[in-house]
Amino acid sequence: MSSLFFMRSPAYSRLVLTTLCLVASICAAPTVLAQEFHVHALANFKLENGTTLPAAQIHYATYGKLNAQRSNAILLPSHYMADGHGYEWLIGKGKALDPERDFLITTELFGNGRSSSPSNTLEPFHGPRFPVTSIRDNVAAVHDLLVNELGITHLRAVIGFSMGGQQAFQWAVSYPEFADSIVVTAATAKTWPHGIVRLEGQIAAITADPAFNQGDYTEQPVHGLDTFGLVWAGWLFSQQWWREELWRTGAPAGTTLEQAIAGFRHDFIPGADANNLILQMRTWEQHDVGTTPGFDGDLHRALRSIRARVLYMPSATDLYFPIEDAKVEAASIPNLLFKPIPSVWGHTAGAASNPQDAEFLNTQISTFLVVEKKSH
């Protein structure tokens, strides 16, 4: 998830852009990366809850070219409210993924405002009437995209941060032969109860605003969105990050804690629609690979079924997906390399929010993928 907090001064905005670039729609990459944007249409797409969307769509982007053997494809599914730019901390010369070698597909979750969402879908599914979409629904939609639009029946890897990591785990369970490897940063295969409490608190922050009007608002519920941003900020970084005043990184001299907090509170995710935010939080909180058909709610049996090689990289200080939860899951995953990110940057460490974490992630992922390639 991005910490898209903006003080009104351009100088303070640079703090965000340099240290917390997780949703790259507002991030300037070090170099301009060639990208192609596409939309995949899904007629009469049936969700696992039984609802059928008559005209669903998935937005996605690609970097590089698919080789003649169709053996260089890597999928990067998006995280919370992100678009197709969300992994540019991992892409480019000298990074783990190189478009001159790899064919990269970055997909966008239902509910981000571009793929099918409450805000862009016609009645009877507009706004609060849009059905909750699961991580498995998103994976099934992207599977259709890969197979029927791109002609890809096998992936070199699925790499995901946060909700993208949830999708990577689901790929490994739902389609065990489809990818050689998965890489998961700052995520778990199940949203555990404490994470659900967090998400419910953030949903309640939005819905408590009378302007929300049960989702049938005429203007965005600004007060609710402000409270949502403030609640989210309390979870995004570690206690040590705040204690060491790392919010001062790149900020103008004299910036106060009160100014930093105000930046989180106001326009935390610029332009976001309240119903879209809530939909993706519902998607997030309901996820559990153990509820995949055939596993009867048994998380550990689902994890033991994984055949792909797994690089599992929780952040040592993540409050969203605590490392203790990741360790519980890791005990059931075969073919596992468990490499916690030694960072005080909390959840954001999983998307390279600072130079040290960027170097660690790119080095570990690059080495893992090189070993995977040599083994085939």
Is 162 an annotated catalytic residue? Answer: yes
Phi, psi of 97 (to 5 degrees): -120, 125
Neighbours of 310 (CB within 10 A): 22
Between 193-207 and 274-285, two packed helices, what is the crossing angle to 10 degrees?
160
Q: How far is the CA of 324 from the CAs of 113, 257, 314, 320, in angstroms?
A: 33, 30, 9, 11
Is 117 an annotated catalytic residue? Answer: no
Q: What is the pLDDT of residue 251?
A: 82
Q: What is the pLDDT of residue 267?
A: 80
Nearest-CA neighbor of 102 among 149, 69, 66?
Answer: 66
Q: What is d(CA 345, CA 251) in angstroms, rounded to the nearest whole number?
A: 16
pLDDT in tens, 12-66: 333 333 344 433 333 334 455 768 899 999 999 999 999 999 999 999 999 999 9
DSSP letter at 330? H
Domain positions in the chain: 10-374
Q: What is the pLDDT of residue 20?
A: 44
Q: What is the pLDDT of residue 373?
A: 62
Q: What is d(CA 115, CA 317) in angstroms, rounded to the nearest whole number?
A: 31
Is 347 an annotated catalytic residue? Answer: yes
Domain covering 10-374 assigned CATH 3.40.50.1820 in the classification: yes
Q: With a cut of 70, which residues of the chain have pLDDT below it?
A: 1-32, 34, 372-376
Query: Over the range 169-198, which residues count as b (16 or more CB within 10 Å of their CB) and which as e?
Result: bbbbbbbeebbbbbbbbbbbbbbbeebeeb
**Identified catalytic residue from 115, 119, 162, 315:** 162
pLDDT in tens, 96-123: 999 999 999 999 999 999 999 999 999 9
Neighbours of 294 (CB within 10 A): 10
Q: Are 335 and 306 in contact (CB under 8 A)?
A: yes
**Identified catalytic residue from 102, 318, 325, 357:** 318
Please, what is the end-to-end C-alpha distance for the chain in angstroms? 34
* Cα diameter, the chain: 58
**Identified catalytic residue from 59, 85, 287, 347:** 347
Q: What is d(CA 95, CA 102) in angstroms, rounded to the nearest whole number?
A: 12
Q: Are 173 and 329 in contact (CB under 8 A)?
A: no
Q: Are 156 and 177 in contact (CB under 8 A)?
A: no
- Residue with token string 């060491």: 244
Neighbours of 35 (CB within 10 A): 17
